[in-house]
Structure 1
Amino acid sequence: MNEIIFLASIIECYTENDVLIIGVGDDEFDPENYIVVSRFDDGDVDDSIGIQTHLSEIEVSNAIMKVCLRKNKVIFFIKKNKIQKVQASKIEIDFTDDSQIDIYLLEKYIHDIFIHSSTVVDIDLS
């Protein structure tokens, strides 16, 4: 299955109607590549976390096995049984040092979305 790799020009982290959301795209208004990761606590923690990409038509819950955040990238690894629905096995999003991305806000939202879930979170901003 294919991997999604793109350079982000925008990362938005916000809460709307008690839903935590991370939106990432390669263009603010008309992205060709994007992902949306969200958490709405309703039942099982893992089932309340979803991901949607520009390749998938719907949000897929309980699909993220691991997330790695580094100084210049974030990588999402998809669970084997969800690869077909997400249409990717790995999603790597790069961003440059001079981008307007608030890495510490992204770190906070990754923590808040994946806390108490089975998803492995690996953060190293050094």
Structure 2
Amino acid sequence: MDNEKIQFTVNPDKEKVIYDLIQRLKKESKERGYVNEQLKIRLHAFEILAQQFNESDPIALAMRLAAGASPAPVTSNPGSPVQQERPKITPPKNASLLKGLGQNIMSGLNQDE
């Protein structure tokens, strides 16, 4: 496989959370490549969580984690393929706040396009 180079621009007005994260990481270390490495680590952690919870939507995953969801249990019967079942969760008391946050984030992402 070939290496992939990914670059993106972060607008401090539209993507304040990401911008603040990058600024905080820059303050943590002046070492070259530190911010990129930390972003890769965070992306890797998200992907592992997404796989464990069988959820590809970042906002839905955040809401499930905020609600205290557990990873989908793996069940298998001899001779049958492994299946994952989504746990049933009840929305947290602040679900409307999280939903509003998710909508704000998504609308901010859509403005960039």
Assess same fold via TM > 0.5. Answer: no
Larger % of helix: which?
Answer: 2
TM-score under structure 1 normalisation? 0.27
Report 1 or 2 for greater relative contact order, CA contacts < 8 Å, sequence distance ≥ 6: 1
Larger % of strand: which?
Answer: 1
